[in-house]
A and B are shown apart, each in its own frame.
Chain A
Amino acid sequence: MSWKIWSLKKSPWVFHVNTGACNNCDIEIVDLLTPKFDVERFGIKLVGSPRHADALLVTGGVTAQAAPRLREVYRQTPKPCVVFAIGACACDKGIFTTGYHMVGPVDKIIKEIDPNAIIAYVPGCPPKPEAMISGIVKALAAL
């Protein structure tokens, strides 16, 4: 394991991207960052710019409008980085599978520009904060 991956596991800074979610997953992500769950224990910190981020928390099934923005945000994130698809919509479009405006899911859009991207999935509608912590821990252990 290289020192880059080792240190990335010790301090994954996250950036939150909404690509057309119904806001439910976003509320749960904000819950995750409250003192009750205290993710700073693992070095996880919310940052305001994708250029500072190591992990993108993507919610929503990627609308036609949001897809170019998601690609741009992924390009702006310095590598190595991890993409987390949070919620049923981000994992496989959820109840919006047949929606005319949905071009996702997230992994398809990301793999278009970077076939080797590291993508982790946290399903649920919405996933609980505990489920997100569990997903992040498992994904980092698998790196």
Chain B
Amino acid sequence: MTEALQSLFWIIVFPGFLFTVAFGLFASWIVRKVSALVQWRVGPPLFQPFYDVVKLMGKEILVPQEAQQAVFMAAPLVGMAGVLLLSTMLWRITIAQTAFVGDIIVAIYLMVLPSLALILGSSASASPHASVGTSREMKLVMSYELPLVLAFIVVIIKTGGQLNLAAIAQQVPALSISGMLAFLVALLCVQAKLGFVPFDIAEAETEVASGVLIEYSGALLAVWKLMQAMMLVALPLFLVMVFLGGFGASLWTGLGKYVLILVLVILIKNTNPRMRIDQAMKFFWFYCGLALAIAVTLAIIGNYCGINWL
């Protein structure tokens, strides 16, 4: 009984829902503030993402007449459940070392869930703009999943076949040529997963009028916004754990690594124009694929001959 209550506390309060939402809203404020500073303006106040979510909660929910209602309403919750689980798992591993063998594979699966929910929800909304957005999102998922998994394979080879996140987080694979290549590619894949600018093809506001999210309003849109804010916590944290050696001894170095990744993502977001979907596919499959083929080869050679910096 107490164990169940404790798990409930973990999921709902501390490393789970409340903590991740608060942290995520703060992170999305950082994204907007730093973008504003890059564009030489003042930017929104600290509580702006919070105001946005509260406002959306208070608005009317409109469901299109033609929409598949149950799927349309359930998709945001499915997506948020996936990110919530991922985030709780990663924070628990960071704080209490409660890792298990194969959790990196579970995390890879949980990371696909938001995109799948987005595809489900938008294709249930019976809007032509949303269907264009859906097809773009699907192609985007197919293009970045391969390089992302290959990047994690590089890490697994570098750490000597470890499938346990706590064990992987003991080492720093990014301090080698293959690890660095894999880290850079994984950073770009995370950019695409977060739907930030060079890869915001599915949500393109100027062409398909927010694409996948076009028919969502009120509280359902608020759930999507919360999900995106929580992904802003979970995905950079996952990169920190896999590539940069985790939080290690001190909380501040860990947070520093997290902020480093966040700022890199924001700078990429602010200095690039949007790609077309065919350009994004070519970029991920051809260029990133090639880079990772080299990285995997280097990692295997380095592992076989015992050269750590390869």
Contact = CB atoms under 8 A, between A and B. Distances in A.
Interface of A: 3-4, 7-8, 10-11, 13, 35-36, 38, 40-41, 43, 46-49, 51-52, 54, 76, 78-80
Contact of B210 (A7, A35, A43, A47): A47
B148 interface: no
B60 A78 contact: yes
28 contacts: A4-B55, A7-B57, A10-B47, A10-B48, A11-B55, A13-B52, A35-B39, A35-B40, A38-B42, A38-B43, A41-B41, A41-B42, A43-B51, A47-B205, A47-B210, A48-B206, A48-B209, A48-B214, A49-B129, A49-B210, A51-B62, A51-B221, A52-B210, A52-B213, A52-B216, A52-B217, A52-B221, A79-B59
Nearest to B33: A40
A11 B42 contact: no
A40 B32 contact: yes
A48 B208 CA distance: 8
Give the 9 A-B residue pairs with the shortest CB-CB distance, closest first.
A4-B58, A48-B209, A7-B55, A10-B51, A38-B41, A48-B205, A78-B60, A51-B217, A7-B54
Given A48-B210, A51-B216, A78-B60, A8 B55 contact: yes
Interface in B194-215: 205-206, 208-210, 213-215
Nearest to A4: B58
A142 B264 CA distance: 42
B44 interface: yes
A10 B59 contact: no
Contacts of A48: 205-206, 208-210, 214
B61 interface: yes
B45 interface: yes
A7 B47 CA distance: 11
Contacts of A3: 54, 58
Nearest to A81: B59
B43 A40 contact: yes
A49 B48 contact: no
Contacts of A79: 59-60
Nearest to A42: B44
Contacts of A43: 44-45, 48, 51-52
Contacts of A49: 129, 209-210, 213-215
B218 interface: yes
A51 B220 CA distance: 11
B51 A7 contact: yes
B55 A10 contact: yes
A35 to B, nearest CB: 5
Contacts of B47: 10
A10 B45 CA distance: 10
A35 B36 CA distance: 8
B44 A40 contact: yes
Contacts of B129: 49
Contacts of B217: 51-52, 78
Contacts of B59: 4, 54, 78-80
Contacts of A10: 47-48, 51, 54-55
Nearest to A49: B214
A11 to B, nearest CB: 5
Contacts of A11: 48, 51-52, 55
Contact of B58 (A8, A13, A51, A76): A8
Nearest to A51: B217
A3 B51 CA distance: 10
Interface in B15-60: 32, 36, 39-45, 47-48, 51-52, 54-55, 57-60
A3 B254 CA distance: 37
Nearest to B209: A48
A123 to B, nearest CB: 28
A84 to B, nearest CB: 17
A7 B208 CA distance: 28
Contacts of B39: 35
Q: Which of B42, B55, B210 has most chain A Cβ within 10 Å?
A: B55
Contacts of B60: 78-79
A63 B275 CA distance: 37
